[in-house]
Amino acid sequence: MATVLVSGASVAGTATAYWLRRQGHSVTVVERHPGLRPGGQAIDVRGPALTVLDRMGLLDAVRARAIAFRGMSAVDAAGAEISRDTEKTATGGLIGSPDIEILRDDLVDVLHAAVPDVDFVFGDTVAALDDTGEAVHVEFERAAPQTFDLVVGADGLHSAVRRLAFGPEEDFLRRMGMFLAVCTIDNILGLDHWQTWFVEREPELFCGLYSARDDTEARVMFGFTDTHLRLDYRDGVAQRAEIERRFAGTGAFVDRLLDLTRDATDFYCDEAAQIVMDRWSAGRIALVGDAAHCASPLSGQGSSLALIGAYVLGGELGAAHGDHVRGFTRYEAALRGYVADNQALAFEDSSDDDTWWDRFYPVVNGLVLGDYPDRAVAGR
pLDDT of residue 201: 83
The more confidently predicted of residues 69 and 94 is: 69
Q: Of the ranges 43-47, 149-153, 347-351, which one carries the lowest mean pLDDT score?
A: 347-351
Q: Identify the CATH assignment for 176-273 out of 1.10.3720.10, 3.30.9.30, 3.50.50.60, 3.90.1150.10.
A: 3.30.9.30
pLDDT at 239: 95
For residue 356, what pLDDT is reported? Answer: 75
pLDDT at position 123 over 70: yes
pLDDT of 379: 37
**pLDDT score recorded for residue 297:** 92
CB within 8 Å of 337: residues ≥ 6 apart: none
pLDDT in tens, 213-236: 999 999 999 999 999 999 998 999
348 band by pLDDT with thresholds 50, 70 and 90: confident
Evaluate if residue 373 carries a pLDDT over 70: no
Over residues 3-62, the pLDDT tens digits come to 999 999 999 999 999 999 998 999 999 999 999 999 999 999 999 999 999 999 999 999
Strand partners, 30: 7, 121
- What does the DSSP 8-state code read for residue 69? -
Q: Selecting from 3.40.1400.10, 3.50.50.60, 3.30.70.2190, 3.40.30.10, what CATH number does the domain 3-66+103-173+274-375 have?
A: 3.50.50.60
Region 235-252: mean pLDDT is 94
Quickly list DSSP for 325-380: HHHHHHHHHHHHHHHHHHHHGGGS--SSHHHHHHHHHHHHT----TTHHHHTSTT-
d(C-alpha 131, C-alpha 234), whole Å: 28
Q: Beta strand 3-7 with 150-153: parallel, antiparallel or unpaired? A: parallel
For 309-336, write each residue's pLDDT tens digit: 999 999 999 999 989 999 999 999 999 9
Domains 3-66+103-173+274-375 and 176-273 agree in fold: no
**What is the three-class DSSP state of 229?**
coil
Does residue 122 surpass a pLDDT of 70? yes
Name the pLDDT band for 374 (thresholds 50, 70, 90): low
Domain ranges of the chain: 3-66+103-173+274-375, 176-273
